[in-house]
Amino acid sequence: MSDVPLIPEHATQFPQVKRMNALLEWVATVDHKQIGMMYLFGTFFFLLVGGVEALLMRIQLAQPNEHFLSPQDYNQLFTMHGITMIFLVVMPMLLGLANYVVPLQIGARDMAYPRLNALSVWMFYFGGMILYASFLAGGAPDAGWFAYVPLSTPPYTTNVGMDYYGIGLLVSGIGTVATALNLVATIFLYRAPGMTMRRLPLFTWMVLFNSFIILFAMPALNASLVLLLLDRMLGAHFFDVLAGASPLLWQHYFWAFGHPEVYIMVLPAWGIISEVVPVYSRKPIFGYGAVAGSTIAIAFLSFAVWGHHMFTSGMGTLSDLLFSGASLMIAVPTGIKIFNWIATAWKGKIHFTTSMLFALAFIVQFTVGGVTGVQFGIVPFDRLTTDTYYVVAHFHYVLFGGTLFGLFAGFYYWFPKAFGRMLSERLGKWNFWLMFVGFNTAFFVQHALGWMGMTRRIWTYPDYPNWGLYNMISTVGSFILAAGVLLFAYNVWHSARHGELAGENPWDAWTLEWATTSPPPHYNFDQVPPVRSRRPLWDLNHPDMADKD
Amino acid sequence: MAYLSIGTLLSLLGSGVSVPAADSNIIPIEGYTEFLLWASVAVAALVGVLVIWAIWRYRARAGDQEYAPQIHGNTPLEIGWTVAPAVLLAVLFGLATYFQLTSSRSAGAGLPKGRPPDIIVIAHQFWWEFRYPKLGIVTANEFHIPVKQDIVVQVESDDVIHDLWMPALGEKMDAVPGQTNYEVLYAPKPGSYNGACAEYCGAEHAWMRPYAVAQTPAEFRRWVRHEKTLPAKPTSQLAKAGEKYFMSNTCIDCHTIAGTKANGRVAPDLTHFGSRKFIGAGVMTNRTQNLKAFLKDPQAVKPGILMPDFHLSDQQVNELTAYLEGLK
């Protein structure tokens, strides 16, 4: 063995805190890679915060009639857990990854509007800080992330938490809209020569349609928040029942944003899976057209299904049935994706990297969350199971077993690009199995709990047969899951310094981000390779098997 | 047949779903529900098996650097897995819609079959008011119904949104202020059934548990007669003192006791409090020690309850307990 490394040591890309002015370089940056990192580190921090909130709840629920937390504390915790995970973790984490990856994937130098991009990330940070400042101001929001009126308005709220909810989400929401706009402009205007829309990498494709959903859905939330704040702070009467308003108005406003939001939180994760599964199966994506096209169908349908959150509110039978039909329809394009991913792995040469393990677990867990999702689209069934732990199990299978597992697949896949070093696969395997076992232990039993009549959002419960046992199992699982997440943090910290050098393209992948050094230089590319198909680097490295397009 | 399936599966997990026990709070699995659950299990299992098969069959052996055949798609296959789920979903939609539109037990915004409601439920933070308009009786948190009859329940709210849910007896429906919704309860056999508030409603959402007793028609009639009679007057010294204290303090502004001047409607009706099973909408069973603890400091027993701590002396607590327990 020669002592000379095969891969040259790379220059450090990110400003190191040790250096003079490094902090200023972070604060003043308009580089999409640095901004992407700021998103990812900020959201990972909030993942830990939201995780601690969840663990506190799980301790409280570990046994019946527990008094570890007061109901007031518990209600603030579950509200903040939901808000944190949705608005400060899953959504901005996906945007952060998109920020880092999309310009590289399309061979661009940066985002279309770098300064707007910097504004967005700071709006995210400020929004998060405003939300958490509520703890210091006398109490966090405690009316649920959905903030149903009249519970979220005086006289039923007793602290100022919901004002912080309104302002905090408004601030971060404006940042989200700006990022979506930025991504759309970047993808439309800054693609490398030869990269037609039909040759777009699927992650970029999904981010594009995700951004469209954001552009149409977030303003609905932002406007509703303004109305809620007017009601709360200036005594307006938009949602005042005594003044003749219907509490269902808020529910319609909120879910008209809230259900597209569910797709906002999953589309880019589908994109990650559509990149990762082909690369580690050594095969192109099976049915690019179907995977891409079904995304468009979902983007449209996502705006026609919000009513399935309101089947027990008494909207009327016709509304019930229309929303039910639309909700079931969305399962068809979703199913197409699942089958196409499996077909991609089929007849492949599957390499079980940590990234691939997360992706395969995603497919199965997301399907479990998907079939229970179909059940909630059916009106009479929804009226049995909604607002129970069956729902809690369902959406954690979608958002944790789905999106977060997808994100972890993405982290293991793209980390070498961003840091020039590989994440440890040995730690990675531990990371995966702890999370896989912990997640399923924590959440699978919750299906049964829901069926046994346990409702959501209760700070404690009576000692009914088996409730204590199942909740204890769930609590144990949640701690195993937490250990897995912490191990990931250690892996990042350790591998960023001591990991194996990665080189340009450690996975033999084929999209453009792998055509530049790891980490990429500030300007991203010395030279962008020619794009003649969906897999430019594949064509370059394997001319004998080049795609015909 | 119904219980020979998912029910068995769940009971294997230890939940005991297949045998609805006393105080049942479990959703029964029958009809379209069972079909839906099986279809879901089948789809999830299919995906799971395919993934595991692919992992096993197509794993790359160590050191294998070869490439897989570069397959880009297969249109007939893809049309197949588009159409098949669509057909399955259409069948599910048809079944459920048929059930929803034809079942006499479907909940919703409209009055089922144009029948006047048997029970009007008014939800409060954090307790339930049950009014029987045809029978002229009022009770709180605990209610009785005859078995094997569709009971039409009108659901309303006095403050925020709540949701009346009796898992073993039927669908749930939100109690929305300014709106009336309806649900239908059906008890297949006599027994007691636990319920819950299913829409988050504030601090004590957890302890807002309705409790139903399903009875044979004869027993139910006896209960109705009992509810219509006024509770016995207190006889012991202690209970009389308790009544005097109750009637001369603010208790009467929130609670009702039929036949007395206490006629508040903010807090649970206490007319036959002594014959109820629970205190504080499920937080404790109705026993002397529990009632004393509750009266001593309601906020300690049920934090967030709207009843304040009146800082009663032990003597006052004993008097009130004796009085309230005698209200049968």
- For A258-262, B114-118, B190-194, B247-251, which range has the lowest pLDDT when averaged over its residues? B114-118
Contact A312 B100 (CB under 8 A): no
Give A-chain residues touching B100 at CB under 8 angstroms.
317, 320-321, 379-380
Amino acid B106: pLDDT:
86
Q: Are B194 and A453 in contact (CB under 8 A)?
A: yes
Contact A71 B303 (CB under 8 A): yes
Amino acid B60: pLDDT:
87
- Within 10 A of B197 (CB to CB), how many other CB atoms are there? 32
Provide mean pLDDT across the span A47-58.
98
Test the A interface: residue of B55, B88, B172, B306 with most A CBs within 10 Å: B172
- Which candidate, B262, B287, B264, places its Cα nearest to that of B276? B287
- Chain segment A493-548, per-residue pLDDT in tens: 999 999 999 999 999 999 999 999 999 999 999 999 999 999 999 999 888 888 87
Give A-chain residues touching B73 at CB under 8 angstroms.
286-290
Q: Does B102 touch chain A (CB under 8 A)?
A: no
Q: How many CB pairs under 8 A join A and B?
A: 280
Q: Are B155 and A364 in contact (CB under 8 A)?
A: no
Band (pLDDT 50/70/90 cuts) for residue A224 is very high
Q: Where are the alpha helices (DSSP H) in chain B?
A: 6-12, 32-57, 75-102, 217-228, 237-247, 251-254, 288-296, 298-301, 314-325
- Chain segment A270-288, per-residue pLDDT in tens: 999 999 999 999 999 999 9
Amino acid A146: pLDDT:
96
Q: Does B198 touch chain A (CB under 8 A)?
A: yes
Identify the CATH number of the domain defined by range A31-545.
Answer: 1.20.210.10
Contact B51 A364 (CB under 8 A): yes
Amino acid B17: pLDDT:
42
Band (pLDDT 50/70/90 cuts) for residue A362 is very high
- The percent of residues above 70 in pLDDT, for chain B, comes to 92
Q: Which residue in chain A is spatially nearest to B18 when comparing CA positions? A: A452
- Chain segment B251-303, per-residue pLDDT in tens: 999 999 999 999 999 999 999 999 999 999 999 999 999 999 999 999 999 99
Q: Which residue in chain B is spatially nearest to A241 when comparing CA positions? A: B178
Give B-chain residues touching A254 at CB under 8 angstroms.
none
Name the strand (E) or helix (H) holding B214. Answer: strand B211-215
> What is the bridge-based pairing of β-strands B284-285 and B278-279?
antiparallel
Nearest to B178 among A247, A379, A451 (CB): A247
- Looking at the predicted structure, is the pLDDT value of residue B8 above 60? no
- Which candidate, A5, A6, A538, places its Cα nearest to that of A282? A538
What distance in Å separates residue A18's CA from the closest CA in chain B?
Answer: 42
Q: Are A472 and A63 in contact (CB under 8 A)?
A: yes
Contact B40 A374 (CB under 8 A): yes
Amino acid A202: pLDDT:
97
Name the strand (E) or helix (H) holding B138. Answer: strand B137-140
Residues A497 and B276: their CA atoms lie apart, in Å, by 67
3-state secondary structure A155-219: CCCCCCHHHHHHHHHHHHHHHHHHHHHHHHHHHHHCCCCCCCHHHCCHHHHHHHHHHHHHHHHHH
- For A385-399, A431-445, B4-18, B237-251, which range has the lowest pLDDT when averaged over its residues? B4-18
- Looking at the predicted structure, is the pLDDT value of residue B208 above 90? yes
Q: Are B50 and B23 in contact (CB under 8 A)?
A: no
Contact A452 B25 (CB under 8 A): yes
Q: Which residues make beta-bridge pairs with B278?
A: B285
- Looking at the predicted structure, is the pLDDT value of residue A5 above 60? no
- Looking at the predicted structure, is the pLDDT value of residue B124 above 60? yes
Q: Which residues make beta-bridge pairs with B193?
A: B24, B212
Q: Are B228 and B137 in contact (CB under 8 A)?
A: yes
- Chain segment A328-357, per-residue pLDDT in tens: 999 999 999 999 999 999 999 999 999 999
Q: Which residues make beta-bridge pairs with B162?
A: B175
Q: Enumerate residues 278 to 317 of chain B having a beta carbon within 8 A of any beta carbon in chain A.
A: 282, 303-304
- Looking at the predicted structure, is the pLDDT value of residue B15 above 60? no
Q: Does B27 touch chain A (CB under 8 A)?
A: yes
Residues A301 and A320: their CA atoms lie apart, in Å, by 16
Contact A381 B70 (CB under 8 A): no
- Looking at the predicted structure, is the pLDDT value of residue B7 above 80? no
- Ranges of each domain in chain A: 1-30, 31-545
Band (pLDDT 50/70/90 cuts) for residue A106 is very high
Q: Does A282 touch chain B (CB under 8 A)?
A: yes
Band (pLDDT 50/70/90 cuts) for residue B12 is very low
ipTM of the complex: 0.92
